[in-house]
Chain A
Amino acid sequence: MGEITMPRLSDTMSEGTVGRWLKKVGDQIAVGDIIAEIETDKATMELEAFEAGVLQQILIPEGQTVPIGHPIAIIGDSATPVAPTPSIPPVTTQPSAPSASAVTPVTVQAVSPAAVAESATPAPAVGGDDNGRIKASPVARRLAEELGIDLRQVVGTGPGGRIIKENVEEFAARRGAAVPAPTVTPSTPPPTPVPVSPPTPVQPPAPARTPTPAPAPKLVGAEPLSRMRRAIARAMTDSKPGVPHIYLTIEVDADALVALREQITASGTRVSINDLVVKAAAKALSKVPAVNVSYSQTADGQPGIVRHSQINIGVAVALDDGLVAPVVRDADKKSISVISAEIRDMALRAREGKIKQQELEGATFQVTNLGMFGIVEFGSIISVPQAASLAVGAVRKVPVVRNDQIVIGQVMNLTLSADHRVVDGAVGAQYLQELRKLLEAPMNIIV
């Protein structure tokens, strides 16, 4: 009887995910058979059997990530398959080997503390260094492991961006506070810690402002990200700390939309262009649900994604001294008149300061409109934990080409900001396409 362990499939690989089992428990395995697909940080690779026998146990289910060397299945010579006993592997997001620099005692001689200052050159903190190694104190590492926290998401405030115990504790406290009931609760982004050098005889260089990663609250129902998705998320965060936004702008022919609105208004119902856009945005989300998601953490602290079953649109409302985004719940299922009434009611109460907190919570997508100010187009900031936000520009008359003639047309620019960790450009573009289709043939919004 032999164990099949997570193989090292690349030099940089420290852990792998069982992508797919290609053999079942009880299957005869011949040497050279492909028994599973393993996802690494770079690619999906095939796992070949090096011994023959019967697949007796699958220890690691599909989608689970384990460090290299961890047993994932057992091959035996018995023809009788053994009932699988799934073992929950230790969640290791990092090689557990401690970093040498974290424990190297540092000289403080009576009169020459300069050596210390030299060794304490600060560096940006999040996500580890170029080699993916995360600088964390041993106790921070141990605590993170105990709490199931992925250190890559923790901002280190220690020397050189080292993650210290306090950072993990603060992260855990935030994460704990951000675990909501059934729906998604927007979590407050963490304050950006600004490490300040202690007033010491020899001042170490002032550390650069440490970027804060986008908080990844633990949301109910989060499923683990695929290896590739994770790598993208990490790369995006490295490049643009916080939520790595991408912006996609599309021009919509608004003639039909304006005409429809005039028709509805003429019938005595008050409806704004924005109401129609909100409804269309919700409907487009039901067609492209990949945008209606949240970057999150799984229960065991791994990077994850939540695919929302509800479509709740936050509608940004400007106040005298700020803005709020009351939420139209199930906007895809509500009629345009109901959406319009809800937005009007909530906006009014928001301006009067009478909006309830729960009416501001649970959005899965946001619509922001600055068209009334004549803004042609803009990029909005995503409200965590949403993964996308739609910025609506003004409907304006411009010369357009129709049937090879320059005529006066009405256009509206829409810009989608998307969290690139979970929403790629092509998906966002697909969504905008769908949205444009709806807005240019707006009867489809209503029916």
Chain B
Amino acid sequence: MPVITYRQALNDTLGEELARDPNVLLMGEEIGVFQGSYRVTEGLLAEFGPKRVVDTPIAEEGFVGVAIGAAMLGLRPVVEIMTINFILVAIDQIVNHAAKIHYMFGGQVSVPLVIRTPSGGTGQLAATHSQSFENWFAYCPGLKVVAPATPYDAKGLLRAAIRDDDPVIFIESLALYDTKGEVPEDDDYVLPIGIADVKRPGTDVTVVSYSRMTAVALQVAQRMEQEGISVEVVDLRSLRPLDRPTIIESVKKTNRAVVIAEDWYSYGVTAEIAATIQEEAFDYLDAPVYRVAGLEVPLPYAKELSAASKPNANNLIYAIRQVMRGTKRMR
């Protein structure tokens, strides 16, 4: 199986979907002539032309609104928001229109819209450019929110998102774009939205993660194995719908859970997962559910502070050791 980057997987998928369905079109800032701020749309303008790959003005509210209208009339727009930080000006369009139209018009019209956007990051992008807002959208009924961690999942889920008749927020990560993984060639696989994936089986503790934090979790799981601690990594892949059964099944097996996400600690994704676990697996818990999340500060620019403000492998290892306290392995 070919090994390609996460970016390449996205680029391939966008090209294939543009070729497969004439109703698919791309919109966003700098996605055409500049070929994308992160080169995800590289080569697509040349291949499909300016009617299918549309450079927009710096006006997120406006072009997300345009995309919603286009979607209502049968097109399948895939909008790129340069980073999730810029989505805030379009949030009314997304939450009050895209998420509600199918419901408020009695099902007469759907909004088959995809919004792709990278979230989080530690790249010295400072307070207004490093944030994680996927939980804002996962909070909103009427939206689907997916956040793949691997090139394989990115491809399967982007296909699913484009072919889905409802608005899907597709969360990417700057740090993942250059990561590599196996992706089958000439295989039109589609990953159903809302199904988590046990990325690594284990017996001692469940780590629940998504997107970039899944990569961190897998790396930590490998390290913990050398200490004799068997970590199961549940990659959510989708925040809404949330695959609660897979999380619960895993925690019932391991009796311990650590939830890691890049967003801020309070009211973040980790809170939702932790609450789910205590509700549905209470009698299976052998330790409190620990949460590893972002430090609750406006995200700093300074290199060290920027790195320190986001959860990392050491934080996760610390939490795993905390939930493992008192077990034979830790005694």
Contact = CB atoms under 8 A, between A and B. Distances in A.
A393 interface: no
Given A104-B288, A110-B293, A200-B321, A157 B326 contact: yes
B285 A102 contact: yes
Interface stretch (A112-120, A176-184, A293-301, A403-411): A112-120
B329 to A, nearest CB: 9
A166 B204 CA distance: 11
B294 interface: yes
Contact of A109 (B255, B274, B286, B296): B296
A196 interface: yes
B291 A110 contact: no
A29 B176 CA distance: 78
Nearest to B285: A138
Interface residues on B, range: 35 or more
Given A107-B291, A111-B308, A158-B325, A201 B318 contact: yes
Interface in A35-80: none
A137 B295 contact: no
A252 interface: no
Interface of B: 255, 258, 265, 271, 274, 278, 282-296, 308-312, 314-315, 318-319, 321-322, 324-328, 330-331
B303 to A, nearest CB: 14
Given A139-B283, A198-B321, A103 B293 contact: no
Contact of A105 (B289, B321, B326): B289
Question: Counting chain A CB atoms within 10 Å of each CB, which of B258, B278, B308 scores highest?
Answer: B278
B295 A103 contact: no
B322 A106 contact: yes
A199 B310 CA distance: 22
A84 interface: no
B325 A159 contact: yes
Interface residues on A, range: 35 or more
A101 B321 CA distance: 18
Interface in A178-211: 193-202
Given A108-B318, A193-B331, A198 B288 contact: no
A139 B292 contact: no
Contact of A200 (B296, B308, B318): B318
Given A105-B288, A138-B285, A198 B322 contact: yes
B318 A103 contact: no
Contact of B289 (A103, A116, A140, A202): A103
A109 B288 contact: no
Contacts of B321: 198-200
Contact of A108 (B282, B290, B330): B290
A194 B330 CA distance: 10
A202 B319 CA distance: 11
Given A110-B309, A111-B309, A138-B282, A164 B327 contact: yes
B312 A110 contact: yes
CB-based closest 3 A-B pairs: A158-B326, A198-B321, A157-B326
B286 A105 contact: no
A196 B330 contact: yes
B286 A137 contact: yes
